[in-house]
Amino acid sequence: MLHCGNASICAQDLYVGATLSVFGRIFELLDADEYTYTYMENNSHIFIMADADATLTGLRAQARDMTHALMSMAAGCSSMAWHAVWAAMPYCMPLLSRMPVHTH
C-alpha cells in the first residue's frame, strides 16, 4: 500500500484510466508496460479492472440499458430516423462507463 499524505492508495486503485490524488495533485494513469498488464491480468482477483470477463459483462449490461433507453424514446413510433437516434445518443452515453480492457 502506498501512503500519500493522509490518504492511502491501494493496488486496486492503480489501473489504466484511474484518477489519483497525490499530495493535492490529480494524476490520471494513461498507460502501463507489458509486464504490468500481464501482472494485473494474472492477478485479476486484486485488479478487478483487468478482469476481461467482468468488464465485458459490465459493458453488455450497460449496452442493454442504452438499448432500452433508445427503445423507450422510440416507443409509439413506427420507425425512428437516424437523426433522431444520433440526437438521443448524448443522453445515453453517460450509461457507458470507462472500463479499460487490455488484450494481447
What DSSP designation does 48 have?
G
Q: Which residues in 4-39 are b (16+ Cβ under 10 Å) and which e?
A: eeeeeeeeebbbbebeeeeeeeeeeeeebeeebbee
pLDDT of residue 101: 47
Reported pTM: 0.50
Cα–Cα distance between 51 and 66 in angstroms, integer? 23
What are the average pLDDT values for consecutive 10-residue runs of the chain, which has 104 residues? 60 85 90 91 84 80 76 65 67 54 44
Q: What pLDDT does residue 28 have?
A: 92
3-state SS assignment for residue 2: strand
In this predicted structure, what is the pLDDT of residue 33?
A: 92
